[in-house]
Structure 1
């Protein structure tokens, strides 16, 4: 009996232990569920608040916003001066406060990663909020005076409501630019307005973009693209001919009575503000310019490296590429003497032929799209930049599709300076396959499949996006070398790749020299002369562009170098199991991130 009693007690103690363990599991489960719910609520609130106040952002993010609960009026957000009660950081501080009450340890792997990204993203944004008037929304090179017409010209009409929303946006362009004028006036009051030459460029752009002759004749690209989109709706039976005519008339009225006067008002305001700019050199000549540059560098590139680390990385890369180019030219001396590149050697002429070739050659290095049902419906259209916008657009660019409709993708080619075959081929690799188009569609399909937190779609990382595009552009030079049979031509392609990297690396180092170390135009010209750029006008144009667009070259080139560094780390961690396809799949399935996040996740998954 005594023995049986002991057994009974033992059984009870074991049962009690299991009960406690089960209760602990239930408690932990409640914590997990509670924190998961709070994180989901926070991210959905941020997603909604970010998009509901700006119809352009909403339209380019969601094809069918009503399915996500967006049913409000079409608004075009405009600048409003900060009040004493709200310095513009209240939303960020509130989000960080809510985030601090959630434990990332209680979230699933994907949400935990999103949590860390969001925490760093908001913290960095908060640190940048003290530089109220250092941003430049009307930059001559990338300002909204040139960006807005591009977004309007490609505003997709999927339904009659989209047309109505578009016209509402046009009707608000005067208020939108009034806000930017107010901001520029406040910049001037704080001694932070742009240089006279930059202001003159903006004035010229405002006059030429909204060309009066084209507007009066109805031949402006915002006339023609509007009618083209309406024609599609009419052919689909979504609108009548009468409705189309009515909307064309309304578009004409808004362009001439609202949008054109808004541009004139910007030009007038900048004419008055000319002369108030106190600095035509780098950011470091502004009161808080160096610290702002550090913030901007981290924000634009997604790199957490210090400036001395970045300089060392750039210098080593410049040296290695220069040595590789010298060795190549030593191996093929014809490239520096009698060799003449013959563009007709390249067998592909049209962008479509080149993209088809790139798609076939990338198969051995990149994974297929994750969603086979969707991937068969992915298509693209090649369009030409309007002649009136050629002076203000990049050589090419890709328009990101909405996350709920990735079937239609658009790549624009700027034909102002017709590129040679190799340049067009590598440019299409950058913008299309395996560049922006492939990267964007793959990551969004994967995130959609896995119900990734909606906040991931709003966190933008320029270094991830442009660094990837430059990384695959480098691979495309190798693909181009396989297109041709002549070893000397293939060597020429490799020389072009190395030369391009040397140039971009040089401009990236010059960016730091100008904005952080105070290099003036004569100093920049001296640096460029040592690199073989001896024409003073060319050197001056490079200097002016870097002054107007701080960190832009670094967004591309530092991002590219971060990916090379990440690939080296993956090779060390994976050893003989490393492959380009596995590495690329890891990047694409992790999705847009800062490089700290990518490095942390690589080591976590390889541990």
Structure 2
């Protein structure tokens, strides 16, 4: 080979290797950037996770079964409201976190972290916009306030160790400070002209005396007595505590209930008695100075939707029209439905909740994936409990108690027996709360995220539309499962009529929510709307109106979330074509995990 050719080859080879070295350097630099951003994001989210949970023992206990494994230690602290200074708008921490996020590129994060980054960024940005509405929140709402919520959380506070019992008693000992903080907040609300109506305040006063009933407390029959002793008995049986220790703690619980917690409730009742009359609005949020803007924020933050109110109204109206037409068609096909059935108990083959949940698990198998394989997944079980009679007036018909992320084996579903549901209603309610509803959704998503080392901050980003929208979506499917349980077409048609009726009702209430809080509909206007769909009793219409006034966006959390899932399903069918299946769609939703609907839509288009 000529020398010249050799020299040319040598220069080419050197150029090749120099190019390769340059590529390697660039690759290393990119890797360093990715690693650096990844580490910073991990540190940021872990710090957020710890700071959010460290200040409130209730949140910590219900999020982590074994907090010491995550680095949490110290005294149990129940966070309480602290008045803001003029310089503090309550948003400095959010701004600081957003500033730290802005220095991290989501493009340099691994796919899962990049998705979490975008969720967190939108989540915090939205809450920053809501920080200017400091006194629009209502922690002591008659329908869902902490005066009824705290006793429920205390009654189900799991005792796994002696420290859990000690923490529980510390919480009881701080309930006076906690409620004093809420009283201070309500006084400040009143000073800003934003205190609740007289009727709502009256309901809170009545609840305070009813929940902490003096006779039940003095006799030791209060449910916070009995549930406490039941949990201690379990610890004693397991050999974790002695009988002597148990009796000592029972005595301490009695003391704290009567000398700390009951007086705290009395102070709330006294404060609300004084504050009655200071409320300036007994109608929708739009009658407050910034009420319409706050409603827009509340709607977005609660449901996770990015749609405008005009879009939401169109979506709801079209759904209402379709369901109403479907109901009319069904009644035309089966005119005897109007009078033939009053309940489903006579024909429904399942009676107990366990029988119903077993049937639901079998029927859902074709459309929903099994839990991700793990040792923990093999030991998932549930307990059905009844709501305490003293709490029946303040609880939902049923609810699921979300387990800690590091111990999902024990799941609890509560049923409120005040108005015993018929068999079909119980079946669909258990689908909503259990399988394939909240229990299944929660356990599946948490198992999957745990296995994939998903950022811990995801567990603290709450999306009401995702959670309740999913539960109502699968509740709709459970009516179809119920139809396959029975053999005759008339009963199946009745079940379909019940499904349509429930959808029509919740869709109507969702439209009313917008009309009342955003457009200013008053009680007479709401009564007129309800009369058009057959709700003619003035007291019933008034009760519906009052509930929507007290709980803005609550119905939309369920029904708009449901419609968003239907829209996602339509998108998946268009994108996947012949490859679409309910199983694949449901697996996508569950493995993505709790999200806003913008995130779900964006991720779906990348599949």
Please state which band the TM-score falls in when normalised by the shorter chain.
over 0.9
Structure 2 unmatched runs, 5+: none
CA contact (8 A) 2:357 2:431 kept: yes
Q: Is residue 371–residue 446 contact of structure 1 (8 Å, CA) maintained in 2?
A: no
Aligned counterpart, 2:144: 142
Counterpart in the other structure of 1:216: 218
Q: Which secondary structure state, in structure 2, belongs to the residue aligned with residue 345 of structure 1?
A: coil
1:52·1:72 contact (CA, 8 Å) conserved in 2? no
Alignment of 1:280-291 (within 5 A): 280-291=282-293
Any idea what the Cα deviations from partners look like across 1:56-78, whole Å, max 9, x if unmatched?
00000000000000002100000
* 8 Å contact kept, 1:443–1:591: yes
Task: Kindly state the Cα deviation for residue 333 of structure 1 after the two structures are TM-superposed.
Answer: 1.1
**Alignment of 1:177 onto 2:204:** no
Matches for 1:290-439 after TM superposition, within 5 Å: 290-339=292-341, 341-439=343-441
Partner Cα distance (1:68, 1:340) in 2: 53
Please state how far the C-alpha of 1:372 moved relative to its aligned partner.
4.1
After superposition, residues 124-139 of structure 1 pair within 5 angstroms as 124-139=126-141
Match in the other structure for 1:74: 76
Secondary structure, counterpart of 1:404 in structure 2:
coil
Size of the aligned set, in residue pairs, is: 605
- State the Cα distance separating 1:593 from its structure 2 match: 0.0
Partner of 2:123: 121
Q: Match of 1:158?
A: 160
What is aligned with 2:592?
590
Structure 2 equivalent of residue 5 of structure 1: 7
Q: What residue in structure 1 maps to residue 490 of structure 2? A: 488
Deviations 1:238-270 (A, max 9, x none): 000000000000000000000000000000000
Deviations 1:133-185 (A, max 9, x none): 00000000000000000000000000000000000000000000000000000
Which residue of structure 2 aligns with residue 191 of structure 1? Answer: 193
Partner of 2:446: 444
* Contact kept in structure 2, 1:435 and 1:473, CA below 8 Å: yes
Query: In the alignment, what sits opposite 1:517?
Result: 519
* Partner residue, 1:23: 25
Whole-angstrom distance in 1 between the partners of 2:502 and 2:479: 11
Does structure 2 conserve the Cα–Cα contact (< 8 Å) formed by 1:341 and 1:489? no
| Cα distance, 1:340–1:533 mapped onto 2, change above 3 Å | closer
Matches within 5 A, 1:208-287: 208-287=210-289
CA distance in 1, matches of 2:71, 2:457: 16
Mapped partners of 2:576, 2:502: distance in 1? 31
Matched, 1:478 2:489: no
Q: 2:571 aligns with which of 560, 569, 578?
A: 569
Cα-to-partner distance string for 1:331-368 (whole Å, 9 max, x where unaligned): 11110244554512111111011000000100011000
2:476–2:499 Cα contact (<8 Å) kept? yes
Using structure 1 for the length normalisation, give the TM-score: 0.99
Q: 1:406 touches 1:441 (CA, 8 Å); kept in 2?
A: yes
Tell me the C-alpha RMSD between the 2 structures: 0.7
Cα distance in 2 between the residues matched to 1:399 and 1:71: 25
The Cα of 1:376 is off from its aligned counterpart by 1.7
The secondary structure found in structure 2 opposite 1:478 is helix
Residue 287 of structure 1, CA deviation: 0.1
Distance 1:72 1:125 in 2: 29
Runs of 5+ unmatched residues, structure 1? none
